[in-house]
Amino acid sequence: MNRRPLIAGNWKMYLTGAEAVRLAQAVAATSGACLDRDVMVAPAFTALAKVCEAVRDTPLQVAAQNVAWGKEGAYTGEISPIMLADLGVRLAIVGHSERRQIFGERDAMINRRLLGALAGDLQPVLCVGETLEEREADHTFSVLEQQMRQCLQGVAKGEMRQMILAYEPVWAIGTGKTATKEQAQEVHAFLRRFLAEAYEKSVADEVRILYGGSVKPENIDSLMAQSDIDGALVGGAALNAESFDRIIRFQ
Ligand code: 13P
């Protein structure tokens, strides 16, 4: 199955507007030179407008790091899909483990955000992943199955085809401790089987599954060589133009 690779940078709570534009321009230049793969960046909300403007005529895709649901409403601190689409944003990350662990977002809320994104024509990038405790207790697959089931409630087959998944083991995020390529491949294959059973095989074959958690220039090539790893969601190493350039140019 030929899935187009996607290398995505999650900039988290880093970079002011001017810094974000500078980095986005550098990344756009690399993405323009690598037309056989997709490249995405997710700046902070405050930099989205400027970054969208700066890369408008390039293939670089711009995502939000989270999204609410509905058109508008009394939701202090939230941003609606329409507000994002208005800026030229086309994708939104939902369910990142930092939202889950630090800000208490649960699967039911992530499900609402995801449905909101789909209703607003944003392509969701749904993140799932187990904690170290869960892995050590041998609960990895049951935890992932539960997250998938609950986050994807009410997502129709045609909508699933438009989505992107990211497997981000919580213990690998920002720790320098990457999952081995075998550990990542095993989970990716499991997630793909889940999609085949919950939807159908053609959906499972189409949906791109990214790996995230301490992806670096040194490990990207071996991760991308795995048959079910279709891309990467990169944190720290995406904040540096040179290291992200090397990750985008994985072989
Ligand atoms: P690091 O690449 O810094 O481990 O972060 C991964 C991540 O959370 C991407 O969303």
Spatial contact of 116 and 88, defined as CB atoms under 8 Å apart: no
Ligand 1 centre distance from Cα of residue 212 (Å)? 6
| Cβ of 95 less than 6 Å from ligand 1 | no
pLDDT at 146 over 80: yes
Please name the residue whose Cα sits nearest to atom 2 of ligand 1: 235
Spatial contact of 91 and 123, defined as CB atoms under 8 Å apart: yes
Least confident segment among 8-17, 175-184, 214-223? 175-184
Cβ burial of 19 (10 Å; 0-12, 13-18, 19+) is middle
| Cβ of 185 less than 6 Å from ligand 1 | no
Catalytic residue from among 98, 130, 134, 168: 168
User: What is the distance between the alpha carbons of residues 212 and 220, in angstroms, rounded to a whole number?
Assistant: 10
Predicted pLDDT at 176: 82
| Cβ of 154 less than 6 Å from ligand 1 | no
Output the CA–CA distances (angstroms, integers) from residue 230 to 134, 175, 223, in the order listed: 25, 22, 9
Site to substitute for ligand 1 among 66, 219, 234, most atoms within 8 A of C-beta? 234
Predicted pLDDT at 23: 98
Q: Is 168 a catalytic residue?
A: yes
The pLDDT tens digits for 89-143 are 999 999 999 999 999 999 999 999 999 999 999 999 999 999 999 999 999 999 9
Atom of ligand 1 nearest to the CA of 236: 3
The pLDDT tens digits for 202-223 are 999 999 999 999 999 999 999 9
pTM of the full predicted structure? Answer: 0.97
